[in-house]
């Protein structure tokens, strides 16, 4: 069996340096695409789970809702949701760093004169104006401020604040203080 695999490898036509470089670049782009897809798939799962929790909380019928009154189901939903934001944030940071790592690899493997990811691509991502075929491209206004990473941090923090609010407003604080 091993000989069959080796014979297939040996039968490949030899590539010159330029062909090897382009093949390496293609592979780094595939890895970059994979990391981007993984990042968004994981974010989608956490977003879905957190949306379901918030939907569950919003459907709970609680009589005489007053803040700073212990409501166990709301309190524990807040605790569970807040705990869930930790792996969400952790996996986002990890996968985001993998994505940036793969981007750096792709930039390094890009043929020198292509300027797709390096040069123009990087300048465009930084908010600089780029001209291609006499057409100007630039990320403007809120697009410069609200990069993808910041937007995800904002969403995670927003969910965490809602959960923290549930813990504060519906926790057993009066019971604890009255002991």
Please give the full DSSP string across 156-179, using - where no structure is assigned: HHHHHHHHHHHHHHHSSHHHHHT-
Q: Provide mean pLDDT across the span 39-47.
A: 93
Q: Is the pLDDT of residue 12 over 70?
A: no
pTM, to two decimals? 0.78
Q: Work out the mean pLDDT of the chain and round it to a whole number.
A: 87
Specify if 42 maps to a domain.
yes
Q: Distance between CA 148 and CA 128 in Å, rounded?
A: 17
CA distances from 47 to 18, 22, 80 (A): 43, 37, 14
Interval 68-86: pLDDT, tens: 888 899 999 999 999 999 9
116 located within any domain: yes
pLDDT of residue 9 exceeding 50, the answer is no
Note the pLDDT tens digit of each residue in 94-140: 999 999 999 999 999 999 888 888 888 888 888 899 999 999 999 88
- Whether 6 is covered by a domain: the verdict is no
Number of domains the chain contains: 1
- Provide long-range contacts, Cβ within 8 A and 24+ apart, for 117-123: none
Residue 47 lies in a domain: yes
Q: Is 3 among the domain residues?
A: no
Mean pLDDT of 29-46: 93
Question: For residue 50, is it within any domain?
Answer: yes
- 4: in domain: no
**pLDDT category, 11, cuts 50, 70, 90?**
low
Domain boundaries, position 154: 18-177
Q: By percentage, how much of the chain surpasses pLDDT 90?
A: 55
**Residue 35 in this model has a pLDDT that exceeds 90:** yes
Within a domain: 2 = no
d(CA 44, CA 95): 13
Smallest CA-to-CA distance from 177 within 74, 98, 44, 70 is with 70
CA separation for the pair 111, 118 (Å, rounded): 10
């Amino acid at each position: 069996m091993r000989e069959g695999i080796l014979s297939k490898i040996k039968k490949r036509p030899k590539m010159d340096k330029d062909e090897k470089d382009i093949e390496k670049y293609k592979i780094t782009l595939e890895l970059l695409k994979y990391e981007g897809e993984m990042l968004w798939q994981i974010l989608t799962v956490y977003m879905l789970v957190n949306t379901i929790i918030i939907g569950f909380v919003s459907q709970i019928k609680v009589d005489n809702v007053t803040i700073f009154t212990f409501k166990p189901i709301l309190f524990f939903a807040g605790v569970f949701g807040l705990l869930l934001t930790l792996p969400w944030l952790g996996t986002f940071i990890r996968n985001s760093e993998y994505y940036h790592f793969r981007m750096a690899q792709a930039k390094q493997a890009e043929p020198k004169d292509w300027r797709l990811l390096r040069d123009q691509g990087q300048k465009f991502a930084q908010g600089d104006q780029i001209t291609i075929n006499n057409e100007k491209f630039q990320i403007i206004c809120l697009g410069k401020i609200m990069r993808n990473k910041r937007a995800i941090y904002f969403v995670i923090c927003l969910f965490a604040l809602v959960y923290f609010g549930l813990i504060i407003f519906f926790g057993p604080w009066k019971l604890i203080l009255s002991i």
